[in-house]
Structure 1
Amino acid sequence: MTAETPVEPELPRGVALAWGVAASPQRGPKREMSIERIVDAAVEIADAEGLAAVSMSRVAQSLGYTTMSLYRYVTAKDDLLVLMQEQGIGLPPEPDPALDPSDWRGRLRAIGHAQLEVHRRHPWLLDIPIQGTPVTPNNLAWMDAMLEALSSTPLDQGERVAVILLVTGQLQWQSTIERSYEVAAHAAGIETQAIDDGRSAMLAAFVTAEEFPALRRAVDAGVFADGDDPFAFGLERVFDGVAVHMAERAAGAPADASATPREAPEVTADKRVREARKAVREAEKRLRDARKVERQARREAVERHRRDDR
């Protein structure tokens, strides 16, 4: 092997199966058994009962085979999770021909909405741990689509990847919150809107201007009772921030112009700096404790006035 010959990495079996380069079993219990059928059955169980319900034995039972027969095809549950995620996310949508190729915001928004829909169809995807940069075909297709949406921008390649992380982080957070609402509503046998209605009523009843003045102003303004989508607002502000950075880059600002300056190691290590930071943390804790005592005193005073009025 020469120095110029690239070394082909050894792939985990789940990843190799996703790419279709893993060796297939030479024989199985029956011809009808296949990796595709195993993954289909696992996804069906997860869609109906959640990821915790998926086990090798449960999947085998649903297919009418023994657990050991599955191991001829998928050697571990972790490999099965890789394949389930790959099937669950599917492929990204094709670019909307109505959108200008330079409309990076519109194209990212469309991809983002598609990601949200994927999580709504398969909420168990949110339970699969994130383990670094994705390396399976469908995951990479989503990344490629988002990078392509940014291809006409002045951002360099590293900044484009950073924008993807920023946008997908916002979308992941939205999906997590939406899912928690669905779980809570299902457990209570109510609609998700009823959760917000109930919380709004509690805030209106218990948040007082004396104890939480700023929050009370928000309650009185109807912030917690209206139907506006705060996540849509958040995503658009992410895009606004990226647009500002793009304008700076187009004007010739260096790529790291917005980076936060770091302290020199000798400053960070200085004993006086460490002591000062510790003192600040302790003061902040005392302030939090004092505010807690103040809130409790206010509640007790309000309760006494209520009893006196009776």
Structure 2
Amino acid sequence: MTVEPPAVPAAPEPELPRGVALAWGVAANPQRGPKRELSIERIVEAAVEIADAEGLGAVSMARVAQSLGYTTMSLYRYVSAKDDLLTLMQEIGTGLPPEPSPDLAAGDWRGRLRELSRAQVEHYLAHPWLLDIPIEGTPVTPNNLAWMDAMLDALADVPVDEFERVAIMLLFTGQMRWRGTIERAYADAASAAGVDPQAIDDARDALLDTLVTAQEFPAVRRAIDAGVFRDETGDPLEFGFERLLDGVAGYVAERAAGAPRDIPAPADPVEAEAAGDKKVREAQKAVREAEKRLRDARKLARDATREATRRIRDSRR
């Protein structure tokens, strides 16, 4: 008699967080209530409007309910927690990636990554609060995955493997998030001061020109004198972005020529544990103390230089 092996139970499907389920449109219908004309879409749109105008910190369930003319409890029939609301706000703010430009040549992965990267920055500037939502691993909502898919598709014909494509995609998404952070900071500073963003640069350049001497910071002084901080030579952020493309292109060329995949080995767990060793902590403390003494010495040198300059100037009068 043949004995059938016991059936192996299938692994249970992971339970979707409600915010993710709502983003995918597979969440259970909200509880019925007296104000059924309210909808998830209206709630999220109201929250986005508040965040656009006042920042993410201004968004609360009570504030959103007030803007819609409902009670806070009415919102909880649709969105069970603020974290779910943030997930849906991020989904709306992120939007969908642009389609490839009609004049973009087939296989032009550099051009396509330029389009997608610049579009990402535009979304960050349109909805700056997106940068304040914590990163919690790989995104799992439709619009976020659409951006990931578009960037990976741009690299589909590049002679690298899937791991490398994801790594390149993360390189550029990280760069654009950083650029969005920088540009938002300029916009916020200009808005707070009630001036044009260029005025922020002009004021900073004037301070640098006054404070930085060739004796103390010779390399920075050379950059100032070359007009780098006055944008006379171009956009350094754009220049850096193009160098990222050049670096990836060089790596791709090596892979196409048969070079093996170049991936650093993961950190040695023994070394990682040693980083928390008492001797390491003591060494780090000593470095911090030495840096403080160096800063103090540099301040004394600056003061001495200024005093000597003043005396020379006074003696010539």
The answer to whether TM tops 0.5 is: yes
Give the structure 2 partner of residue 168 of structure 1.
Answer: 173
Instruction: Sort the Cα spacing of 1:63 and 1:280 in 2 relative to 1 into closer, same or farther, 3 A.
Output: closer
Equivalence map 1:141-290=2 (5 Å): 141-226=146-231, 228-256=234-262, 259=264, 281=287, 285=291, 290=297
Instruction: Sort the Cα spacing of 1:305 and 1:248 in 2 relative to 1 into closer, same or farther, 3 A.
Output: same
Equivalence map 1:20-99=2 (5 Å): 20-99=25-104
Count, aligned residues: 308
Report if the CA contact (8 A) 2:35-2:74 is conserved.
Answer: no
Instruction: Sort the Cα spacing of 1:280 and 1:57 in 2 relative to 1 into closer, same or farther, 3 A.
Output: closer
1:32 deviates by: 1.5
Question: One-letter code of the match for 2:259?
Answer: A
Residue aligned with 2:115, SS: helix
Instruction: Sort the Cα spacing of 1:119 and 1:278 in 2 relative to 1 into closer, same or farther, 3 A.
Output: closer
How far apart, CA to CA, are the structure 2 residues paired with 1:29 and 1:304?
Answer: 82
How far apart, CA to CA, are the structure 1 residues paired with 2:28 and 2:59?
Answer: 24
How far apart, CA to CA, are the structure 2 residues paired with 1:209 and 1:9?
Answer: 61
Question: One-letter code of the match for 1:254?
Answer: P
Q: Which moved more, 1:94-103 or 1:289-298?
A: 289-298
How far apart, CA to CA, are the structure 2 residues paired with 1:261 and 1:121?
Answer: 38
Residue aligned with 1:211, SS: coil
Question: One-letter code of the match for 2:155?
Answer: L
Instruction: Sort the Cα spacing of 1:150 and 1:281 in 2 relative to 1 into closer, same or farther, 3 A.
Output: same
Instruction: Sort the Cα spacing of 1:305 and 1:151 in 2 relative to 1 into closer, same or farther, 3 A.
Output: same
Runs of 4+ aligned residues of structure 1 deviating over 2 Å after TM superposition are 1-7, 259-266, 277-310
Give the structure 2 partner of residue 301 of structure 1.
Answer: 308
Report if the CA contact (8 A) 1:34-1:73 is conserved.
Answer: yes
Question: One-letter code of the match for 2:245?
Answer: F
CA deviation string 1:237-258 (max 9, x = no partner): 111111111111111111126x
Q: Which moved more, 1:20-29 or 1:82-91?
A: 20-29
Give the structure 2 partner of residue 12 of structure 1.
Answer: 17
Matched, 1:130 2:132: no
Instruction: Sort the Cα spacing of 1:241 and 1:12 in 2 relative to 1 into closer, same or farther, 3 A.
Output: same
Question: One-letter code of the match for 2:240?
Answer: G
User: TM-score w.r.t. structure 2 length?
Assistant: 0.87
Question: One-letter code of the match for 2:65?
Answer: A
Report if the CA contact (8 A) 2:190-2:197 is conserved.
Answer: yes
How far apart, CA to CA, are the structure 2 residues paired with 1:264 and 1:10?
Answer: 33
Tell me, which stretches of 5 or more residues in structure 2 are unaligned?
A: 1-5
1:209 deviates by: 1.6
How far apart, CA to CA, are the structure 1 residues paired with 2:241 and 2:87?
Answer: 28
* RMSD of equivalent CA atoms: 2.9
User: TM-score w.r.t. structure 1 length?
Assistant: 0.89
Report if the CA contact (8 A) 1:211-1:298 is conserved.
Answer: no
CA deviation string 1:104-163 (max 9, x = no partner): 110010001111111111111111111110000000000000000000101111111111
Report if the CA contact (8 A) 1:16-1:22 is conserved.
Answer: yes
Give the structure 1 partner of residue 123 of structure 2.
Answer: 118
Give the structure 1 partner of residue 144 of structure 2.
Answer: 139
Report if the CA contact (8 A) 1:200-1:224 is conserved.
Answer: yes
How far apart, CA to CA, are the structure 2 residues paired with 1:278 and 1:62?
Answer: 51
Report if the CA contact (8 A) 1:147-1:160 is conserved.
Answer: yes
1:26 deviates by: 3.5
Question: One-letter code of the match for 2:108?
Answer: D
How far apart, CA to CA, are the structure 2 residues paired with 1:168 and 1:303?
Answer: 50
The percentage of counterpart residues that share the same residue type is: 66
Residue aligned with 1:224, SS: helix
1:291 deviates by: 4.1
How far apart, CA to CA, are the structure 2 residues paired with 1:287 and 1:263?
Answer: 33
Question: One-letter code of the match for 2:305?
Answer: R
